[in-house]
Chain A
Amino acid sequence: MSEAAMPLWEVFIRARNGLSHKHAGSIHATDAEMALHAARDVYTRRGEGQSIWVVRSSDIVASDPVDKDMMFEPTASKIYRHPTFYEIPDDVGNM
């Protein structure tokens, strides 16, 4: 095929007010307006959404899974960030 590749967009849908937008999948479209139309047709045929975001996939900056340990491992040793690290007598009650 000699056709130019059509840009890829990531689709995020808010199922209900009160919830955040959640990644639903992706679609191809030439521009933002058509991306919104396509996202509506492809991902909300049964009232799954109240609001749609589309973002060009190439605009998303992602962390590299290879760096996962370097990025996230240090937090595992910082148990003092969690409430259970602190000892409070039972008779103090809920805190």
Chain B
Amino acid sequence: MYSQGLIGADGKTHEDAAFLAAFQARIDAEQKIEPNDPMPEGYRKTLVRQISQHAHSEIIGMQPEGNWISRAPTLRRKAALLAKVQDEGGHGLYLYSAAETLGVSREEMTEQLLSGAAKYSSIFNYPALTWADIGAIGWLVDGAAIMNQIVLCRCSYGPYARAMIRICKEESFHQRQGYEIMIALCNGSEEQKELAQDALNRFWWPSLMMFGPPEGESVHSNQSMIWKIKRFSNDDLRDKFINASVPQAEKLGLTIPDPDLKWNEAKQGYDHGEIDWDEFWRVVKGDGICNRERLKNRRRVDRDGAWVREAAMAHAQKRAARTASARIAAE
């Protein structure tokens, strides 16, 4: 998962009080909600929105890294990166099918992504400029994703929780391969270490933004907490991520690009500097460095693959018709 921050969802419900109370009682008893169970329309909509945004993020997320597969420095790195990008595609597919159990079709979701109506995580609108960025993405972007995803394994909606469990099992290799790239660069020449520092400088803040704005501004997250779709606030998860990442950066001998970052003995965690939420909203609204390119690529790939899908459909229909007529002839 790449976006916990649910962007612009409408969590309103119109069902009567008894229905809502019965539903909430099930949630409070930690019962999982399954596809055809009665559920408030707001719950269903919120999930469709969140799961499809998450799926789109996995799919678009293949682009920055896919861009480096042909330029990976060794065969080992290339095999690992290829496997990682393939995993991300798989994550997208698990999540699309989880969303489909809520009554939205794959075609509708694809259409929303291609038309630009659907959102995906803002992190993927930043470019991967150097090989060190591939290290930083695995280490930080997948690391932030893991923080989000681990808690989603306990989400109240069964199919989403199950998809998250499968995804989490696959994610840890992603982060480790990224950190290993960073270790290699930091143990290399001066220039290599500079590349690593530069990648950290560019990816640090956007990674923190992946957790979404603080709850005060994120109006709908409260309802998501009550429904146990999410279980921690954006700030809590962000703090956990910072506390885990700072020592990892120290091990690498790199500096986190935040002059205000300092250990707070009282809360046993780090205090961090101001996050530029204006930048976040700019990127969400389409004005990031790569927004246009990402969608343009996705549309091109969809167009280029259309004939394959059409041919496969035609072939399947022809074969089915042939089997049917053979059966009639035999009878």
Interface, chain A (partner B; CB < 8 A): 1, 3-6, 8, 25-28, 30-31, 34, 41-42, 45-46, 62, 64-66
Known: A34-B316, A66-B38. 12 other contacts (CB 8 A): A1-B110, A3-B310, A25-B94, A25-B163, A30-B315, A31-B320, A34-B312, A41-B90, A42-B94, A45-B83, A45-B170, A46-B170
Question: Which residues on B sit within 8 Å (CB–CB) of A62?
Answer: 36
Chain B binding surface, main DSSP class: helix
Question: Which residues on A sit within 8 Å (CB–CB) of B106?
Answer: 5-6, 8, 28
Q: Are A26 and B97 in contact (CB under 8 A)?
A: yes
Q: Are B94 and A65 in contact (CB under 8 A)?
A: no
Question: Which residues on B sit within 8 Å (CB–CB) of A34?
Answer: 312, 316
Shortest distance from the beta carbon of A70 to any chain B beta carbon, whole Å: 15
A-B contact pairs, 18 of them (CB 8 A): A1-B111, A5-B105, A5-B106, A5-B107, A6-B309, A25-B94, A25-B98, A26-B97, A30-B313, A31-B312, A31-B315, A31-B319, A34-B312, A34-B316, A42-B93, A45-B87, A45-B170, A64-B36
Shortest distance from the beta carbon of B64 to any chain A beta carbon, whole Å: 21
Residue of A nearest to B105 (CB): A5
Q: How far is the CA of A4 from the CA of B316 in the complex (A)?
A: 13
Q: Are A30 and B97 in contact (CB under 8 A)?
A: no
Question: Which residues on A sit within 8 Å (CB–CB) of B319?
Answer: 31
Shortest distance from the beta carbon of B83 to any chain A beta carbon, whole Å: 8
Residue of B nearest to A4 (CB): B313
Interface residues of B in 295-331 (CB under 8 A from A): 306, 309-310, 312-313, 315-316, 319-320
Question: Which residues on A sit within 8 Å (CB–CB) of B107?
Answer: 1, 3, 5
Q: Are B93 and A8 in contact (CB under 8 A)?
A: no
Query: Given A28-B106, A42-B93, A42-B94, does the pair A65, B315 have CB atoms closer than 8 Å?
Result: no
